[in-house]
Structure 1
Amino acid sequence: MKRILAMLAVAAILGLAGAAALVWQQYDELRHAALISPDADAEIIEVPPGSSLRATAKELARRGYLDSPWPLRLYSRYTGDAGRIQAGEYRIEPGMTAVALLGRMRRGEVVQHRLTIVEGWSVDDLLGAVASHEALEQTLPPDDPAALMEALGHPERHPEGRFLPETYRFPRGTTDVALLRRAYRAMEQALIEEWEERAEGLPLDSPEEALILASIIEKETGRADERRRIAGVFTRRLERGMRLQTDPTVIYGLGDAFDGDLRRVDLRTDTPYNTYIRDGLPPTPIALPGRASLHAAVHPEEGSALYFVADGRGGHVFSDTLEAHNRAVREYQLDGSRGEP
């Protein structure tokens, strides 16, 4: 009898040792075995809101990343991570282990999507890009800038020019309003910073006027080396009481009536944005200005030029007098002179 008991004890010890060896093997695989091979493309797995580690481990096994869900479940209970994973999309990098993925889920290092707001866009362009982004949760009615400003808590403000062009990163499920609120606040902050550091003696009475001028500069040139120079032209015209006479404001005022070809009759069409026949700045911005245009608006380059015309190569020819400007217009524009720009 004693011999049988001894044999059973040995068997039990061997069984426990075997089980321990199996557990250790599984634990070692969690720490060192890659979920996908190092030469594969990264893959995405989503943890739905309210999902448990048990369900996540089961999904990993179902998709072939794990041989079985139980080692990861056991490991997470041991480490205390079982109830600490966060919902969201997670990128499984080539060569990543299960333990590394679990740590990413615990820290909430979710996939970040991107949307780039482009300098010079209109608010309609912006709303179109937001509405078509598949990772954003859509809560706004389409093509309704007024509804956007209402949602942001500023229904009295015109929406044009209020959102800072930058690349914004966000997790899937972010609402359109949340993203646009970030861009709105970023523009407010950038404008405050530039206004506080503005040059002295500007013919601008408020940050709002600086934003309007910056939007015009943004539409007039895409060249970094010209922004402050163009700002200088507009600043001198404002100081002398000259009309700005800038095509982009006219085009903005025409709206859907503009067919891509600006004609003489358009320059005589009265809208609040026609700076050929109205004094001063237009009533609102006409586009989304970037930081460089904001800076140029409040730091205009000194000089004497009062006119400029496109040179057909992406830049402009600047002139001090109307006579010189009209010569430049005849040289660089095929449709003849319009007089002042």
Structure 2
Amino acid sequence: MKPNVDQNIVLSTEESEYIRSVLEKIDYDPSGSDFYLNKIRKVAYTVFPERVITAINKVKGFSASALGSLQIDNLPVDNSVTGSPRHNESGSAFKNGVLTENILVTMGVLTGEPYSIAHEGHELVNNLTPHKEAAKEFTGLGSEVELDFHIENAAQAYMPEGDTSPLALILLGVRGEPLGGPQTRISDCRRALEKLSEEDIKHLYGKNFIIRVPYRWRGASAEPRDNTDLSPILSGPISAPRVTVAFYPDMVLAVNSRAKQALENLYQAVREVSFGVQISPGRLILINNSFTLHSRDSFKPAFDENDRALRWVQRIFVARNLWNFRSFVPVKDRVFDPNVKTAAPEKPGREKTPSAA
């Protein structure tokens, strides 16, 4: 049987138009203020059908039955999409409204705590469009390189400030290429582990690997580090594992040849059980980042007459809570900059006696 998303929900026209009617009336706040998020929370459990809420709860589950991926089709998209943003341009300048941003934030608050990292985008919702000058970068702005399978920000699970890797990431198509564009590939590591030997799994559970931080994170964080100490790839029960791995070039270094072989076997198994989806306009993909890897094919992007990319995907990160982000400075309410250090608290001591005037 060919692998596919764990659950695929297709909204009816009536459901889609109801979502539009409610969310297009809310002003999107790119900073992610409490005032804005509270507005979203008030409508979140009514705007989506019950089967969507049930599926999201399964993504947040803590057992072996937790969903690794969720696809929702026929979501509404803003009218009159006239282009796509570059760099720090706002997406609202290229479409009539902020409907897709509000959809992503609503899905985010249903899943956990939405947030953004400043070097990924200066708004709560990130815009992923190919940039010609970044074509060879291993980021969402690149196109000529394959973004190989990875857990998002895998190394951040082992940083001194605490685990700041996302619980989930949510992707929504806003604008598409005529032929569909590249595929985003998804692989549930639980299925991949079924193909490995007990010896492979034992080495993956051992502290046998150095995991490098993503390219944009290098030199960042409250205590800058470019890689982890010796760490495991797997932790927790085998039926519901926490996976921390990235298969970009030179992202994981094994301590010995047997650990390296286990890592290679895992990679082959991850590829074997993977499947591809095209994130077309109105299609949303929610990826459980605890154990589900994703990748994106290399591709040759198409551009319109204004040199704006035809492919435009929006993304939001979701955490279980924001406690471990306390070492990062919020440059906006929920946009954190790990490059800016928080002020160290003063050490407690005896009060000085003021000198006589």
Asked if TM exceeds 0.5, the reply is no
Which TM-score tier does this pair reach, normalised by the shorter chain? under 0.3
- Between structure 1 and structure 2, the one with the greater Rg is 1
Which structure: greater helix fraction?
1
Compare relative contact order (CA 8 Å, sep 6+) and give the higher one, 1 or 2. 2
Flag the structure with higher strand content: 2
